[in-house]
Amino acid sequence: MRARRLATGVAAAMSALVVLTGCTQTVQGTAAKSGSGDVPRNNDSQRQYPNLLKECDVLTEDILAETVGADPLDIQSTFVGAVCRWQAANPAGLVDITRFWFEQGSLDNERQIASELNYQVESQRIAGIDSIVMRPDDPNGACGVASDAAGVVGWWVNPQSPGIDACSMAIKLMELTLATRA
C-alpha cells in the first residue's frame, strides 16, 4: 500500500514536471518597446492617407449619421478595435455601419474572400483609388466597399430592413475616408 502511494506520488510529480517544462522556453534577445527596433515603420500611409490613421475617429459620428440618413443623436458606437462599429437609426430602420483597416491587408485578399463567400464583386475606382464594391445575397441590401489604401480599408453598411441604398452610403463613407486633406 505504502509503495503504491509512493509510486503514485512520484508519477504525479513527474507528470507535473513534464507539463511545466514542456510549456516553457527561453527566447533570446532583449525586450523592446513597439516601434523601437531596426525595422523602419511604414510612415508613408500617414502622409498619403492622413485620415486612415485616426482609426475609428476617421469620420465623426455626425458625418456617419448624415451619410446613412440618421439623426446625429441616434447613432452609437458599438465596438472599437481592429474593426469599428456603429448602429444608427435611419427613418427606414436600424443601420449597422462597420469600418476596417488592415495595414498588412490587400485588396486582392478582400476580393478573393468576397468571391469565396459568393458575393457579387465589382471593381471600381473611388477617389482615384482601386476599390471593390461587394454585395452579398442579403434581403436587406447590405453592401461593402474595400479600397487599396496603405493596406486595405473598408466600410460595410448593413440595413436591418430593406429599402436603403447601402452601396451609395458605403461608397460615400469611403470617399470621405480617402480624402487627402485631414
Tens of pLDDT, residues 85-97: 999 998 888 999 9
CB neighbour list of residue 148: distance below 8 Å, 6 or more residues apart: 106, 107, 129, 130, 131
Q: Quick check: 158 and 166 in contact, CB under 8 A?
A: yes
The long-range contacts involving 46-50, CB below 8 angstroms and separated by at least 24 positions, are 48/149, 48/150, 48/180, 49/149, 49/150, 49/153, 49/178, 49/180, 50/180, 50/181, 50/182
Share above pLDDT 90 across residues of the chain, in percent, rounded to a whole number:
42
